[in-house]
Amino acid sequence: MHDLDTLLHTVKQSLQSDTDTCLKAINSLKKIGDAINNIEKGPKDLSFIVYQKAFEMDSQAEKVLKKLAVNRSPSVVFNKHPCVEQILSDLSTLGNIECAEKQTDNGKNIILECKKKYLHDIRITTDKETCDIRGICELSAGYILILDDSNKSVKLLDIQLKVIAHADLIGSPMDMYTISPTEVAVTFGKNMIVQFLNVKDRQIYIGRKLDFKHTCHGIAYFKNTLFITSLTAVYQYTMDGQLLKKIYEDTSRTDTGNFPIKLSRLFSIVLYCMKEVHFYNSNIFLS
């Protein structure tokens, strides 16, 4: 960089010198031209001297132009260091790219503080009851799906959080989980059903449904399998509803698994790895 700065400074100085020389020649020729016009009717000897001076200055101007034409622009050439190619040929890579999750200190409590909140009305004209939101999922293009338990419906919101579409459901929804950027799965509690919904062209389409032999409350999706909770147990199913295993069951109460809330991805991973899970008072404890 130092060499380039030095070269740039030298080129600027040379250009400024050439510019000053040209301006000086132009001003001198202009003065001689004015003098010639003023002495056309004067003494002949004075006219001869002026014309002789003009001829000399014209010759000097031609010499300057020829010199500038020869040294029109400098030639810049980069001469690489002889060791560069050898060093690069010995390297298999220029470096490694690593992606690591930020680890939190288990010994410290993390405090989440709400800085701002915004209220958005998702009621529509066909609603008969006050909205009761049971689930929310974000899809591709920033769309959001919201489960409305009171009105047994699902509503599609755009990026401005305006309701742009809605669909009636077969019952009261309990929970919802994203399956793909355009598809979600919804549980219906005592109806013992999981319903798939698809979003396309700003519309909601009711897809296939799966019937089960137990109530369906919480739901999660991981590695092409579904995790569904009943009132007392959590099950793992294939995407077509085939039971893979009952992962855990707690019958100490009648509602140990009744939690219509979003199951986290961590919970799904832990389940998949066959960790033990306990349900107490609608909370999840992992051990």
User: In 3D, which of 207, 206, 249, 244 has the Cα closest to residue 227?
Assistant: 244
Share of the chain above pLDDT 70, in %: 72
Which positions ≥6 away from 95 have C-beta within 8 Å? none
Q: What is the CATH number of domain 133-286?
A: 2.130.10.10
Query: SS3 for 24?
Result: helix
- Under the banding of pLDDT at 50, 70 and 90, the label for residue 46 is low
* pLDDT at residue 257, as a whole number: 60
Query: What distance in Å separates the CA atoms of residue 217 and residue 229, rounded to the nearest whole number?
Result: 5
Sheet holding 203-211, edge to edge: 175-180, 183-187, 193-200, 203-211
Please give the Cα distance from 181 to 179 (Å, whole number): 7
Q: Which residue has the tokens 């855990």?
A: 248
pLDDT tops 70 at residue 261: no
**CA torsion, points 57, 61, 63, 69, in degrees to nearest 10?**
180
**Average pLDDT value for residue range 41-54:** 68
Reported as type and span, the H/E element at residue 168 is: strand 163-168
SS (H, E, C) 178-215: EEECCEEEEECECCCEEEEEEEECCEEEEEEEEECCCC
pLDDT tens-digit series, residues 120-156:
888 999 999 998 998 899 998 889 999 999 999 999 9
pLDDT, one tens digit per residue, over 149-206 is 999 999 999 988 899 999 999 999 999 999 999 999 999 989 999 999 999 999 999 9
